[in-house]
Amino acid sequence: MRIGPESPLVLCSASPRRRELIASLEIPFVVVPTEVDETRRGGETPSVYLERIVSAKLAAGLEARELLISRSRRLAGVLVADTIVVAPDGALLGKPTSDADGRDMIARLDGTTHEVRTRFALAAGHPSASAAFAQTITTRVAFRPLTPGEIDSYAACGEGKDKAGGYAVQGRAAAFVQGIEGSYTNVVGLPLCEVVVAMRGLGWLA
């Protein structure tokens, strides 16, 4: 089904960054946040973790879509996504649980190059359907060397509290970024180029 005013995209995400990115495309969409357990399992690699969480989000999103359709809503497909930060040593950095945790994350990225991975999935079927399209996009981000004062100040400002890796590339942390290899919007939370290409391939966009 093509996305349009009478059949908007269902964005299953509570992230304001993803909402802003989709809004920039100027396509009709509705936000239906879903809740899934994002606890990492023992021995789970970052890639396996990311795939599992996105699959869980997609299942929850499709259920929410079916519920809305049962209430006489006409909706297009579902979009879900999750973003992780992988430190240079391979550790998965989630959202900081405290200022101290946020400081530790920034310190681990100080003067190094890390990876930001976003996996997104698109589906238009019923809750038991699998993804019509899923892809993981990786961007390499290089941080310049930081001073202890910069690290402390950033962790205390609160900007990175709800963000993977403890920082916002579109905010004050932009001053830490020496270079980006790959999609910038992927680091913000959704690789728009790849998402649009995928939606066109499914016939959702003209």
Residue 162 within a domain: yes
Question: 37, 82, 101, 152: which is the annotated catalytic residue?
Answer: 82
Give per-residue burial for 114-129: e unless 16+ CB within 10 Å, then b: bbbbbbbbbbbeeeee
Residue 4 within a domain: no
| Chain CA centroid to CA 13, Å | 9
| Chain CA centroid to CA 136, Å | 10
Residue 116 within a domain: yes
Active site residue 89: no
Amino acid letter, 13: S
Query: Residue 144 sits in a domain of what CATH number?
Result: 3.90.950.10
Residue 96 within a domain: yes
Q: What angle do CA 194, 197, 202 make, to 5 degrees?
A: 125
Residue 2 within a domain: no
H or E element that contains 156: helix 148-157
H or E element that contains 170: none
Residue 57 within a domain: yes
Q: What is the pLDDT along the chain (206 residues), one digit of tens a residue?
A: 899 999 999 999 989 999 999 999 999 999 998 889 999 999 899 999 999 999 999 999 999 888 887 776 788 899 999 999 999 999 999 899 999 999 999 999 999 999 999 999 999 877 777 789 999 999 999 999 999 999 999 999 999 998 999 999 999 999 999 999 999 999 999 999 999 999 999 999 98
In contact, 105 and 165? CB cutoff 8 Å:
yes
Count the domains in the chain.
Answer: 1
pTM value? 0.93
Residue 34 within a domain: yes
> Structural domain of residue 188, as residue ranges?
9-201
Residue 148 within a domain: yes
Amino acid letter, 59: A
